[in-house]
Structure 1
């Protein structure tokens, strides 16, 4: 019943929201798509990645370059997660030998390197980026408004959540849960730890690549500045706030942080605020949110609310 209500509300909102609210709705869905992958990667494989923004950018650039080259937009959108996943396989083969903060900083370095390279290459448009990206379409149909992209975004999110649920409930999903508990114990049980870590890393990158592909068609413009380091930190915060290792936690966390960011942007643009206010406020609030969650809700909002509901049902 709850899932049916959420589905109905999700389908109804694009017809009810104005353009500015629709933009937030689309960005929320794209963030949730990436955060589901982060939650899977951190909650089950126990790997911390500060470079999901890089795969988001790879997906966006892939779809944009193909569309500008005359390839049908649908083919570009399909290629975006594939290229992101292949890139993750190539990058992750050496990087996943690292653990903890070493891996986190290595993935962060990857994003910085990719952004720098994209800003220097001519075919990616350099620092100016790629402009005039065609609208997404299938055959004779073309997405002509924000509502169409909202349905596309949340359809993509539904697909990502379905794939993640099937992975978690499968035999590899049980192996991932063992991996998150103890790599040594998992390896002693015959689980190929390195292979599973690499596959989950590639799957989370594919989710980010799909979101990036939709993003490029929606905005019609991509540049290195579209994928700052802060966006990767934002995905980590979303996953932690919602609840690592939970599918709905990623969506709840993405919604909470996206709405919080919108409020901060409104505050930072008030008269008299300095130009650097949005960045400073974002980093400060992210730090406070993370500290608060670790102290008071270490497992995230969704697990905390679930436990509270169970207690109330038990008392009743």
Structure 2
């Protein structure tokens, strides 16, 4: 009698706890919970982009900002919030296609620095343009709602966030288990070998880049409705580095690994923020602690858990199951031999 996969054994309890938590958490904990879900949404796209397409992007925060500004501007202009939320990932993906066409000709650290420069330029423009509110940003963004129904509580936004994350995970699962997903794995291994096998490397790289941007744009759209306020300061450069750290810590090329990495880093950052606000700590303590911990966590993971937290845990669980199953198999084979 076969046992369920390790992923199912882990995923079902996590899903049950996820649905139950909004009903028991207070507002401050719900804020962390929502931000965790939004970070996981973006990190799934980063894991897909880096783990399968082999492309390093330090500009996911830019697509997060594009999604937030798109939904905010449309809602403030009288467009129904659901339309603004749908437009957020679409606009982010279109922008990724436009900017990715020249940028994806670069590789390695050149591509990483180019995407980082893209975010810096975008935030600089957002801080100077009038229709984006300049450095002050956009305020009084309407609550998300459908018709006469409006989301007024944090618990409703928590369910909206994790519903969006479930959609992102489902789309990613369908992509990586399809024929293009197998082509992406070949692309991550060797672009030259993939091209020689007939895989359209440039088109696939641009498609995955746009898809990861759409995930970030969707998260940004939910973020703007939840906070009711967006400004260039809401999307610092550190946030893009944070997504990379989350993907690496959780496990590149895994869907649940992105969620695990986002959870671990978000909770760690909350602990650091609490520590940084202790009386007597300097004002620059939060940023210094964040950069120091990011560096330390990356070094530890690369040295001791090169595949990430989730692959390491599931690998050990699978190995333990194999060890417990082996004596039963040997006993059954022995009994069959005796009967013959």
Bin for the TM-score computed over the shorter chain: over 0.9
2:36 maps to 28
1:107 maps to 115
Instruction: Give CA deviations for 1:2-39 in whole Å, capped at 9, x if unaligned.
Output: 33322221111000000000000000000000000000
Write out aligned runs for 1:207-218 (5 A): 207-218=215-226
Q: CA deviation at 1:181?
A: 0.6
Instruction: Give CA deviations for 1:94-146 in whole Å, capped at 9, x if unaligned.
Output: 00000000000000000000000000000000000000000000111110100
Instruction: Tell whether 2:207 aligns with 1:199.
Output: yes
1:48 maps to 56
2:16 maps to 8
| Aligned partner (choices 158, 173, 177) of residue 165 of structure 1 | 173
Q: Distance in 2 between matches of 1:74 and 1:4?
A: 29
| Aligned partner (choices 235, 239, 259) of residue 247 of structure 2 | 239
1:37 maps to 45
Write out aligned runs for 1:290-305 (5 A): 290-305=298-313
Q: Distance in 2 between matches of 1:170 and 1:139?
A: 37
1:188 maps to 196
Structure 2 SS opposite 1:221: coil
Q: CA deviation at 1:315?
A: 1.7
Instruction: Tell whether 2:162 aligns with 1:154.
Output: yes
- Which runs of 5 or more structure 1 residues have no equivalent in the other structure? none
1:134 maps to 142
Structure 2 SS opposite 1:103: helix
2:332 maps to none
Q: Distance in 2 between matches of 1:128 and 1:243?
A: 37
Instruction: Give CA deviations for 1:211-249 in whole Å, capped at 9, x if unaligned.
Output: 000000000000000000000000000000000000000
Q: Distance in 1 between matches of 2:21 and 2:322?
A: 35
Q: Distance in 2 between matches of 1:307 and 1:206?
A: 31
2:289 maps to 281
Structure with the greater alpha carbon radius of gyration: 2
Q: Distance in 2 between matches of 1:168 and 1:140?
A: 39
TM-score by length of structure 2 reads 0.92
2:329 maps to none
2:336 maps to none
Q: Distance in 1 between matches of 2:248 and 2:14?
A: 22
Instruction: Give CA deviations for 1:24-66 in whole Å, capped at 9, x if unaligned.
Output: 0000000000000000000000000000000000000000000
Length, aligned pairs only: 316
Write out aligned runs for 1:85-96 (5 A): 85-96=93-104
Q: Distance in 2 between matches of 1:142 and 1:4?
A: 30
TM-score by length of structure 1 reads 0.99
Instruction: Tell whether 2:92 aligns with 1:84.
Output: yes
Q: Distance in 1 between matches of 2:299 and 2:16?
A: 35
1:251 maps to 259
1:73 maps to 81
2:27 maps to 19
Q: CA deviation at 1:169?
A: 0.3
Q: Single out whichever of 226-235 and 7-16 deviates more from structure 2.
A: 7-16
Structure 2 SS opposite 1:273: coil
1:57 maps to 65
